Amino acid sequence: MAHTTENLMARLEEACTLDGYLAELKASGKQAPATLSAYLDTLLAAQPLTRPEVIREAGLNATFGYQVFQGTRRITRNNALLLSRALGCTLTQTQRLLALANQGRLAPQDPRDAVVIWCIRHGLSCQRTDEELYRRGMGTLSPAR
């Protein structure tokens, strides 16, 4: 059985004990990473890219980028979105990354967020996302672009 959120919720509701459910979840290996740095490592492991390549593609300072991956620095919403684009995240992965970074989720009713969502759905890079935002007179993700 797939471990979708709905399936896991059903299992939790049917569980006789909380400890039993948590043990089953841990044994399944389907626990969601609890920290931003752990989630970034999970996303990175699924990519053919290295950490320096992702940091460079996101346009982040190397030292700052490493500190984010190590969990010693907090990031802004724009930097979280840049990392998301550099890692090639889906919209669901991006929303999770934003939540773990304690930043607001993307909302389609916000015009700027709508552009970012469209860029994510179409697999555009950090630079192309910034170009789409700039072309529409909206603030880019990276201040340097």
1: pLDDT strictly greater than 50: no
The pair phi, psi for residue 3, each rounded to 5°, is -100, 60
Q: How many residues does the chain have?
A: 145
Residue range 112-126: average pLDDT? Answer: 96
Residue 128: its pLDDT value, please?
A: 96
Q: Domain boundaries in the chain?
A: 1-31, 36-135
Mean pLDDT of the chain: 90
Residue range 68-86: average pLDDT? Answer: 96
Confirm if 134 and 145 have CB atoms less than 8 A apart: yes
Which residues, including other chains, have CB under 8 Å from residue 125's CB and lie 6 or more apart?
57, 85, 86
Question: What is the distance of C-alpha 80 from the center of its chain?
Answer: 7
Determine the angle formed by the axes of helices 51-58 and 77-86, rounding to 10 degrees: 120
